[in-house]
Amino acid sequence: MMPLSMVSEGEPNIIKKVGGKEDTRRFLENLGFVVGSEVTVISEINGNMIVNIKNSRVAIGKDMANKIMV
């Protein structure tokens, strides 16, 4: 397992765990970051990422990406 922030661009991964406080987990789950979902990093600039999740593109910061384990 490793944080989403360490993943290579264009490589599909399955979410294994979503960490952080309850509010943070709920926020990420509402964006589609749930255990078992496939997530692909589209681009990464200065730690901020654009990811493809459930046929949507979502921008997340490095702190959020570090809480998502794949």
- The 10s digit of each residue's pLDDT in 30-41 is 999 999 999 999
Structural domain contains residue 43: yes
Average pLDDT over every residue of 21-45: 94
Q: How far apart are CA 18 and CA 66, in angstroms?
A: 9
**pLDDT confidence tier of residue 3, bands split at 50, 70 and 90:** very high
Domains in the chain, number: 1
Range of the structural domain that residue 26 is part of: 4-55
Q: Pairing relation of β-strands 68-69 and 48-53?
A: unpaired
Residue 33, domain member (yes or no): yes
Percent residues over pLDDT 90 in the chain = 97
**Is 65 inside any structural domain?**
no
Instruction: Average the pLDDT over 7-21 and give the result.
Output: 94
CATH of the domain at 27: 2.30.30.90
Q: What pLDDT was estimated at residue 47? A: 84
Phi-psi group of 47: left, alpha or beta (phi > 0 → left; psi -120 to 50 → alpha; rest → beta):
left
